[in-house]
Amino acid sequence: MKIIDLKNLYPNNYKNSEIYNISDDVFNALEDFRRADEAFAKKRKRNKDIYSLNVEDGIESNISIKVETPDEIVEKKWLISELHKAIDTLPEKQARRITKHYLMGMSKVEIAHSEGVSEGAVRHSIYLGLKELKNYFEKNCIK
């Protein structure tokens, strides 16, 4: 059995000491919660997450859920469809390598090993493909 004082645990709620005997399991659970709270407070302080609610990096980033507006959803879908159209205009190797690297998250070394070519060839192919994508978007999307 362990002894706790509720005044120490909840100083805002208890003005006088209230001492109780609790089981070891309950005490361990309370200690786990206390440690988690301390770790979270240290993390917030380390990340400078202790400032006003008026800035993007404040506490609200921990408690708020960012919901996309309908305009943002439509714009994202449009951008994705335009990206797929642009990739379809590329030669097959460039399209495949750009898709593997940027959309599937493969490194250039992994792509080179999977295709049995040098890393330089993959880098050059991706470079040329990105150049073509830039030209495509300048001609077709940016006005």
pLDDT of residue 41: 81
Helices (H), the chain: 6-9, 24-46, 60-63, 70-88, 92-98, 108-115, 119-140
Indicate the number of domains in the chain.
2
108 & 128 share domain: yes
**pLDDT tens sequence for the chain (143 residues):** 888 888 887 788 888 888 888 888 888 888 888 888 888 888 877 776 655 555 555 555 556 667 778 888 898 898 888 888 899 999 999 999 999 998 888 999 999 999 999 999 999 999 999 999 999 988 887 55
Q: What is the CATH number of the domain that holds 102?
A: 1.10.10.10
Residues 59, 74: one domain?
no
So what's the pLDDT on residue 100? 92
Instruction: Please state whether 92 falls in left (phi above 0), alpha (psi between -120 and 50) or beta.
Output: alpha
The domain boundary residue, chosen from 37, 63, 89? 63
> Do 59 and 76 share a structural domain?
no
Residue bearing tokens 């642009």:
86
Are 129 and 77 in the same domain? yes
